[in-house]
Copies of this chain bind each other. A is one copy, B any other.
Amino acid sequence: MRYAVLGTGEVGRTLGGRLVELGHEVRLGSRTPDNPAAAQWAAAAGAGAQAGTFAQAAAFGEVVVNAVGGRVALAALEAAGAENLDGKVLVDVSNPLAIEEGELRLSPVGSDSVGEQIQRAFPQARVVKTLNTVNCRVMVDPALVPGEHQVFVCGEEAGAKEQVVALLGEFGWPARRVLDLGGIREARAVEMWLPLWIGLMRNFGHAEFNLELRRAR
C-alpha cells in the first residue's frame, strides 16, 4: 500500500519507518520540499521511503496519516490539498496540545476536537481517529508494554474503520484490543485523555505505558 505520512517529527518518522519496514511505500510530507529531517529519514529508512511536500505526499498516498501536531493539522491538510484527500482514509493520530499561560493545554477541548475539525473541513475524506492515546513507540510496537492494553478508533464510516483496524493489526494490535467508540465526535473523548496521560508520564518517568480496560463482564 502507498502511505502519505504528514509530519516529520518523531511521530511521523516513527510511523513512516514502521510502515516501510512492513513493506509499504511511504512518502513523508512536510511544509517545504527540502526538509532536512525528512530527507535524512528517507535516506535511512531505505527503499520504499521518500520525502516531499504535504501535497506531494498526499497525492502519492492511498491512505493519508496526519502526524503533525493537532494545532497545525488543518493548515497541513489545507497544504496537502482537498483533492489529494477526497475519498481516502485519513488516519488522525494528533493531539491539540500547546503551552498556554505557561501550562500545557488542549484546544479545542470539550465541545470540539481535531478529529471533528478535520472531518468538517474535508467532508470527502474518510477520517478515523486512532493511536493518539499512546506514545509513538507504543503505536508501532505495542509489545513494548505488557498486557492486553488497548487503543481506540472512531469515525463516521465503518469501512474506513475496518481498514484502520487492519493497519493496527500490522502494527501488532490484534482486533480484540481495538475498541470502536463510534463516530468522529468521540475524538473529543480520546483527545481529552491526554492530560491524564501527561500526568502519568510524569509519575512513571517515561512514556511507554498504556491503559488496559478491565471489566466485570
Structural contact, B193 and A180, CB atoms closer than 8 A: no
Give min CB distance, A115 to chain B, whole Å.
Answer: 13
Q: Which A138-194 residues have C-beta < 8 A from chain B?
A: 144-147, 149, 152, 179-182, 186, 188-190, 192-193
Distance between Cα atoms of A202 and B154 in the complex (Å) = 13
Structural contact, A215 and B209, CB atoms closer than 8 A: yes
Give min CB distance, A113 to chain B, whole Å.
Answer: 10
A189's partner among B196, B210, B212 (CB-CB below 8 A) is: B196
Give min CB distance, A62 to chain B, whole Å.
Answer: 29
Distance between Cα atoms of A108 and B110 in the complex (Å) = 9
Structural contact, A182 and B206, CB atoms closer than 8 A: no
18 more contacts with CB within 8 A, not counting A103-B111, A193-B196, are: A100-B111, A106-B110, A107-B110, A109-B109, A110-B110, A145-B216, A146-B215, A181-B196, A182-B203, A189-B198, A192-B192, A192-B195, A204-B215, A209-B216, A211-B211, A211-B212, A211-B213, A212-B212
Chain B, Cβ-Cβ closest to A110: B109
Give min CB distance, A116 to chain B, whole Å.
Answer: 12
Most B CB contacts (10 A, CB to CB) among A206, A208, A209, A211 go to: A211
Most B CB contacts (10 A, CB to CB) among A186, A195, A198 go to: A195
Contacts of A152 in B (CB 8 A): 196
